Amino acid sequence: MANGRKGFWRMFESIVAVSILMVFVLSLSIQYVREPAEPIMKIRGYEILENMDKNDKLRGYVMAGDSDGINSAIVIGGYNHSIEICDYSGTCNGTYPDAENIWLSVYYVAGENTYDPREVKLYIW
């Protein structure tokens, strides 16, 4: 009888030990399998456009309406991307992606040699 009770407690202890270990392992693994959050890619898009403008690699393309030129200058590993350039009247030149889960970052340009405002849209998917 005493041995049976001892065995019960030993079993109970091992179950508790395994449970503690499982909680520990699961809580660690959850942190590492989480998908990158959507806001990160959106922010990445803004950073790309901002840096291109700072390096004088954006405005010329924008004013020429050269969406392909801007798109070729962008490299985002693991993702597709496309550019649209829209003028004041809302007319856009470029490629709107045919995809689900698209992240959009926008950048505004007032002009280069003359005032001619444009909106640059960077789509990432």
Stretch that binds another protein, among 62-70, 71-79, 91-99, 113-121 (CB under 8 A): 113-121
- Distances in Å between the Cα of 13 and the Cα atoms of 9, 22, 23 are 6, 14, 15
Decide whether 34 or 77 has the Cβ nearer to another protein.
34
What tokens appear for 13 in the block? 């202890």
Q: What letter does residue 114 receive in the DSSP assignment?
A: S
Which residue from 52, 62, 85, 105 is in contact with another protein, where contact means CB under 8 A?
105
Q: How far apart are CA 10 and CA 36, in angstroms?
A: 43
Residues 82 and 123 sit within 8 Å (Cβ to Cβ): yes
Total site size for another protein, rule CB under 8 A = 35
Range 18-57, binding another protein (CB under 8 A): 20-21, 24, 27-28, 31-32, 34, 37, 39-40, 42-43, 46-47, 50
In the complex, what is the shortest distance from the CB of residue 40 to another protein, in angstroms, rounded to a whole number?
7
Give the one residue of 7, 8, 13, 99 binding another protein; rule: CB under 8 A.
13
DSSP letters, 64-88, are: TT-HHHHHHT---TT--EEEEEE-T
State in angstroms the smallest separation of the CB of 69 from another protein.
20
